[in-house]
Amino acid sequence: MSTARTTQSAAKPAAKPRRRKTRTLPNAVTKAVGAALRARREKLELTQADVAYAGELERTRIGKMEGGHVNASVLSLASVCHVLGITLADLFADIRLSHPPTTEGGEPRRVNQAVLDKPARKKAARTSKVIASKSARSKPA
């Protein structure tokens, strides 16, 4: 008795529309951090592979960090800094940048669903004013 296989084409479910990912990297901050890492590594005459091996990271990860193509975690940066013989403070010492919380001209990256009660709103407003005034005073003329 011979059994013939029959194939039935199953109807594929409709594919979900893919959400377009906003590409925000590299940006000025990640590039500056990467440039600082690369400069220190080259000063020590180390290869990316040397740093990756000693820091227990992938070599490609080091390359992406140096190119500003990843938003490296604090722990990854701390590992690399340890290998390079510097602290996180040393790494960021010459970087004088900030990054806005939203993409340029786009929607906010996150929406805070928390609703503050009236006293908390007042405190948040006062805190924002204090931060703004300190920031304005600390900017070099």
Model confidence at 128, pLDDT cuts 50, 70, 90, reads: confident
Q: In terms of Cα–Cα distance, which of 98, 102, 14, 86 is closest to 43?
A: 86
Higher-confidence residue of 21 and 96: namely: 96
Considering the entire predicted model, what is its pTM?
A: 0.59
Could you please state the CATH topology (level 3) that the domain comprising 24-97 is classified under: 434 Repressor (Amino-terminal Domain) (1.10.260)
Mean pLDDT of 34-56: 97
Q: In terms of Cα–Cα distance, which of 72, 80, 69 is closest to 27?
A: 69
Tens-place pLDDT, residues 62-77: 999 999 999 999 999 9
**What pLDDT score was predicted for residue 98?**
84
H-assigned helices in 87-117: 88-92
Q: What is the CA radius of gyration of the chain?
A: 24
**What pLDDT score was predicted for residue 112?**
56
Q: How many CB atoms lie within 10 A of CB 100?
A: 7
Burial of 107 (C-beta count, 10 Å sphere; 0-12/13-18/19+): exposed
Tens-place pLDDT, residues 93-126: 999 988 776 555 555 555 555 555 667 777 777 8
